[in-house]
Structure formats: structure tokens, C-alpha cells
């Protein structure tokens, strides 16, 4: 089995599109492939199709493909390796821009921070703390190390999974100190350094950092702005030889895409056939802004899946409370992995979350209306102040994934926006291994009037970038959540 990831000729042809009106054709093909590599749709280190295969799928001459590949080599977007064929790369200095680590950021009062896709505490949190304090004395007689979690919260989480169509017992639930902590537990239990893990590209930056920190070898699974290329995903899973696959099928971060039941089932079958364990990040699953039937949890289609949830988006990040739902009988190994670094989540915050989930298992109607109003204000502001940006409004989630024109790289725009009092996370922060500099994630988590002002500041930053008056990225930015 080859250790070099590859992109199929069929997907490459879909990415290239129609070359009929492009003259010369080889230049149009080279430009289309260059943008696909720069944007991360073809990941760096991926083997491109052979010239013969791509010729067949595009319906062009062999000479057209050969000359296009030659142009890409000259520009630094393609290298030839013995035994690996033609492999996508980036020119010197263009690799992994904007992909710094996670650092705390203190911001001034007049700075708008859109690096974090999370909202303020909803109404009712203070009252939930008061009720939780009334119940806390019954837990004070013990040591306070509830390694599995407060029983009432485990039951509430299990009941929510069951209501969503995945029968679950409290004995399948482990409460953690947030989703990132939950992922760390799962990684320790499942992986050894050097094992392969399939991850979506783009994906949540802290997940990528955590997997790299554990010594995992990452293999990309492409997610387009409109969602998953499931044909390519199935092929990638079959050839990766991966121990695990980390997926965000519910309002994917950053694209907002939602994987339907048919494709969940198909991808689940492919993972099972490959012996790859699905690790499913469900942090954003409750942020459904339109209502109606939702797909079943991924684990309903893939019984070996380990699901990770959190209260950070549905309720409040300050609770620092999440959970892991394990397949029946698998919780013990997770607990053993957990106690090497963490003996349990805070009891009081777990009791608070129990109170909040009794009120609403996800976002309340009032909270949903506020998020929709903020989203609509951001969309309107972008159409007014940055009309050349394109985006789709997803059914749910907390951000818009915006495509920028070629003359407006997001890394430059993010640095310049900071001088305008706006913090944003550039596209490369979400890339597996470089690219995505024509993309920008914009969370809609502030009040509507503030989202409008954020769009205006972004528009001013864009004018400065085009005028050659760019800002300079500062160390420690951005905190991405």
C-alpha cells in the first residue's frame, strides 16, 4: 500500500471544471490546478493523477496535461518524486502561512474578536448556578473525583443521544472537561505515535494540533465548500491504512456543511471495511438554525464510532464541560486513558449543565433567533462592504466560510484587519498542510449591529490590502475556537 496520499482523476476533473472556453487549454488547466493546491482542495503532499488518467477524464490531449504539469513544476506547485509520481507542493515561503499554535489573546474593549465561534452565556445561567449550589452539598461528603462524571449529567447526555435516534445508556458516557479534553482522552486510548489518522481538510485547528502533538501521521479527506466529496472520501479511507478518522459531520467547522444520512451510512461502511475507527466531533450538532429533521448521529451508521460532545456551543464555553459517548463496553479503556492526566471534570459545572439541559438540551428558541439575526447581519454587511467575497449560508453552525478573490489573500487581510480593530482567523489556520489562503472563517456570534460593524472594518482592511498598506501579523494570534 502506497504511503503517499493521492487524488483521483475523477475528483481532479471535477475541481478543474470545463476547459472548453479556455485558450490555451494547458494554461487554463495549470491555473485551475494551481488554485486547487493553493486553496487546499488538493492537499500539499498529494499525488496527482497520471497524465494518461487525467487526459481521459478531462477529454483533452495528452500534450495539454503534460504542458500544464510542466507549468506547475516551474511555478513550484508540483514536484516529481521517484516512485511517487507528480506530487502537489507550494512555492518556498507559501507553506503553512497563518497556521500558528493556540495562544491566549487579550483584546482591548474596542476590538471585535471573531476568532472564536462561541457566544456569550445565555439567559438563565446564573439561576442554573444558584440551583446547582443548592444541590452541591450532597456531593461534598466524597473526595470530589467523579472520574466518570456526575450520574445525572451522564443520564441527561444519554437521553439526548437516544432522542436523536442513537439508543445510549449512561454507562456509555464519560464526562470530560470540554471537547478538546475529550479528544485527548480518545487519542490516548486509541493511538500510538506514528499511526495514521484521516482528518478532514479543512478542519478545526485545535484538532489538527492535538493529533500532531500525539505523533499521529495525518492523511487528508477533502471537504469542499458545499460539503464532502464522498466518492473521494471513500477512496481515501480505503487507501489510507488509518487507525482512526476524525470527522465533523454536523455543521462542519469551518464550512458549515451537514452530511446526510445516506452519505453517513456509505462512509461508515467504508470505515468499517478499512478497520478505521470513526472519532466524531459533535460540538456543533445542536446549532441547527432552520429546524426540521436532522440526520441520525454518525454512530447510528457506524457502531464502532466514538462520539465527542460539548456544552461550549450549545450552552456556554465557561462551563468547560463535555463528554465522550463510547460503543457499548468500550468505556473502560477511555477511563484508563483519562486518569493518567485528569481525574474528573468540576462537579459544580456539571450540576449547572444538568439544570441547563433540563431547560433545553440544545440552544433555546431565543438563542437561536439571536444567532440567526447575527448571521443575517453579517451576510448583509459582507454584501455591502465586501461584495466580491462569496459564501453560502449553511443550515446551521456559527460561522460563514467565505471565498475571497485572488488579489485578496486571507492572511494579509487578517493581519490588516487587526489594525482596523478586528480579529479574524485566516483560511490557512484550518488547512491540513498549507493553502486555503483565499478563504476566511467569519463567526456570527456578536450582536447584529456589531456584526455589521465587523463587516465594515473588514471592507476597510480589504481596501488597504489592495492599496499595498497591509498590516503585520502579531505573535500569539489568533485564538481559534
Residue 82: cis peptide before it, omega within 30 degrees of 0: no
The CATH number of 9-88 is 1.10.10.10
- Predicted confidence at residue 440, as pLDDT, reads 96
Which top CATH class is 112-121+364-466?
A: alpha beta
Task: Report pLDDT for 475.
Answer: 44
The 10s digit of each residue's pLDDT in 91-119 is: 865 544 333 333 434 566 689 999 988 88
Find all residues with CB under 8 Å of 330, minimum gap 6, and list them. 306
Binning pLDDT at 50, 70 and 90, where does residue 38 land?
A: confident
pLDDT band at 476 (very low <50, low <70, confident <90, very high): very low
Can you state the percent helix, strand and coil of the chain, rounding each to 5? Answer: 45, 15, 45
Domain boundaries, the chain: 9-88, 112-121+364-466, 136-359
Instruction: Work out the pLDDT band at 2, boundaries 50, 70, 90.
Output: low
pLDDT, position 103: 40
125: pLDDT strictly greater than 50: yes
User: In the prediction, which pLDDT does 44 show?
Assistant: 81
Residue 312 clears pLDDT 60, i.e. is over it: yes
Give all strands (DSSP E) within 166-311, no chain letters.
173-176, 196-201, 217-224, 227-228, 244-247, 277-281, 306-310
- pLDDT tens for 185-244 read 999 999 999 999 999 999 999 999 999 999 999 999 989 989 999 999 999 999 999 999
Q: What is the DSSP letter of 92?
A: T
Do 9-88 and 136-359 have matching folds? no
Taking only the tens place, the pLDDT of each residue in 17-33 is 888 777 798 988 988 89
Lowest-confidence region among 124-128, 267-271, 312-316 = 124-128
The percent of residues in the chain predicted with pLDDT above 90, rounded, is 70
Confidence of residue 439 (pLDDT cuts 50, 70, 90): very high
Which residue would you say has higher pLDDT here, 292 or 323?
A: 323
Neighbour tally for 21: CB within 10 Å:
7
Quote the pLDDT of residue 42. 84
Phi, then psi, of 191 in degrees rounded to 5:
-110, 150
- Supply the pLDDT for residue 108: 67
Q: Which of 88, 2, 90, 95 is nearest to 48 (CA)?
A: 88
Fold of 136-359: 3.40.640
Task: Kindly report, residue by residue over 395-435, the tens digit of the pLDDT.
Answer: 999 999 999 998 899 999 999 999 999 999 999 999 988 78
C-alpha to C-alpha distance for 376 and 25, rounded to whole angstroms: 40
Residue 331 has pLDDT above 70, yes or no: yes
pLDDT confidence bin for 471, thresholds 50/70/90: low
Q: Considering only 39-53, 148-162, 285-299, which range has the smallest mean pLDDT?
A: 39-53
pLDDT of residue 99: 34
User: β-strand 322-325 against 306-310: which pairing, if any?
Assistant: antiparallel
At 335-362, the pLDDT tens digits run 998 888 888 899 999 999 999 999 998 8
Is the pLDDT assigned to residue 445 strictly greater than 60? yes
Sign of the alpha-carbon torsion through 25, 31, 35, 41: positive
Q: Tell me the sheet residues that pair with 270.
A: none
Amino acid at each position: 500500500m502506497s504511503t503517499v496520499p493521492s487524488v483521483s482523476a475523477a475528483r481532479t476533473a471535477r475541481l478543474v471544471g470545463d476547459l472548453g472556453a479556455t485558450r490555451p487549454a494547458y494554461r487554463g488547466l495549470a491555473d485551475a490546478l494551481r488554485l486547487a493546491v493553493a486553496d487546499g482542495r488538493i492537499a500539499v503532499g498529494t499525488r496527482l493523477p497520471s497524465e494518461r488518467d487525467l487526459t481521459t477524464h478531462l477529454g483533452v490531449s495528452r500534450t495539454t496535461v503534460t504542458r500544464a504539469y510542466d507549468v506547475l513544476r516551474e511555478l513550484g506547485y508540483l514536484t516529481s518524486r521517484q516512485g511517487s509520481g507528480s506530487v502537489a507542493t507550494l512555492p518556498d515561503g507559501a507553506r503553512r502561512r497563518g497556521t500558528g499554535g493556540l495562544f491566549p489573546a487579550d483584546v482591548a474593549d474596542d476590538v471585535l474578536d471573531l476568532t472564536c465561534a462561541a457566544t456569550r452565556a445565555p439567559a438563565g445561567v446564573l439561576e442554573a448556578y444558584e440551583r446547582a449550589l443548592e444541590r452541591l452539598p450532597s456531593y461534598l461528603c466524597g473526595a470530589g473525583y467523579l472520574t466518570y462524571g456526575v450520574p445525572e449529567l451522564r443520564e441527561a447526555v444519554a437521553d439526548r443521544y437516544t432522542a436523536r435516534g442513537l439508543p445510549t445508556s449512561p454507562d456509555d458516557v464519560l464526562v470530560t472537561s470540554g471537547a478538546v479534553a475529550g479528544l485527548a482522552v480518545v487519542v490516548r486510548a486509541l493511538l500510538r505515535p506514528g499511526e495514521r489518522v484521516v482528518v478532514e481538510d479543512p478542519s478545526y485547528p485545535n484538532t489538527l494540533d492535538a493529533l500532531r502533538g500525539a505523533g499521529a501521521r495525518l492523511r487528508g479527506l477533502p471537504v469542499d465548500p458545499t460539503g464532502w466529496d464522498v466518492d473521494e472520501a471513500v477512496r481515501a479511507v480505503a487507501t489510507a491504512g488509518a487507525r482512526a478518522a476524525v470527522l465533523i459531520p454536523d455543521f462542519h467547522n469551518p464550512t458549515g456543511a451537514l452530511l446526510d444520512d445516506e452519505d453517513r451510512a456509505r462512509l461508515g461502511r467504508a470505515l468499517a471495511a478499512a478497520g478505521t475507527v470513526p472519532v466524531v466531533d459533535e460540538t456543533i450538532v445542536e446549532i441547527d438554525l432552520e429546524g426540521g429533521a436532522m440526520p441520525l448521529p454518525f454512530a447510528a451508521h457506524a457502531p464502532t464510532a466514538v462520539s465527542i460532545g460539548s456544552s461550549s456551543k450549545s450552552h456556554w464555553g465557561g462551563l468547560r464541560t463535555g463528554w465522550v459517548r463510547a460503543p457499548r463496553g468500550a468505556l473502560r479503556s477511555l477511563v484508563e486513558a483519562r486518569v493518567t492526566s485528569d481525574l474528573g471534570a468540576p462537579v459544580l459545572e456539571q450540576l449547572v449543565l444538568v439544570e441547563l439541559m433540563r431547560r433545553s438540551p440544545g440552544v433555546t428558541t431565543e438563542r437561536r433567533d439571536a444567532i440567526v439575526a447575527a448571521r443575517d447581519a453579517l451576510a448583509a454587511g459582507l454584501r455591502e462592504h465586501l461584495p466580491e467575497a462569496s459564501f453560502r449560508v449553511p443550515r446551521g453552525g456559527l460561522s460563514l466560510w467565505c471565498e475571497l478573490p485572488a488579489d485578496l489573500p486571507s492572511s494579509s487581510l487578517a493581519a490588516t484587519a487587526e489594525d482596523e480593530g478586528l480579529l479574524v482567523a485566516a483560511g490557512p489556520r484550518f488547512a491540513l498542510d498549507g493553502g486555503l489562503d483565499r478563504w476566511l472563517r467569519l463567526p456570527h456570534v456578536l450582536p447584529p449591529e456589531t456584526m455589521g460593524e465587523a463587516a465594515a472594518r473588514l471592507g476597510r482592511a480589504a481596501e488597504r490590502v489592495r492599496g499595498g498598506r497591509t498590516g503585520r501579523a502579531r505573535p500569539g494570534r489568533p485564538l481559534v475556537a
